[in-house]
Amino acid sequence: MSGKDIIEVSDASFQDEVLKSDIPVIVDFWAAWCGPCRMVGPIVEEIASEYVGKVKVAKLNVDDNKETATKYGIMSIPTILKFESGSVSKQIVGAMPKTALIKELDI
């Protein structure tokens, strides 16, 4: 992961970084072996750098953080969840172009 505006979250840090955030958080659930995840990754990095201060962008590796992935019912990746005030407000499964992703996430 190379995006400087993206935080890497884990089962241990998820509550503090995502659920307790005072701004909306977009979480990219991914895995290193996932081809579509590698397609979405650069788009997520662009969103992170373009919307600094408006949303927090995080990535969670589902292979390393099974507890959180299971809690949110992540069955397919990439899955992107938008959290507002500690609750899921949007869910997107699969890869899509940047403009569609921004529109879908309402940012």
**Looking at the annotation, which residues are catalytic?**
34, 37
CA–CA separation, 93 and 31 (whole Å): 14
Residues 6+ apart with CB under 8 A from 32: 61, 63
Question: What is the Cα Rg of the chain in Å?
Answer: 12
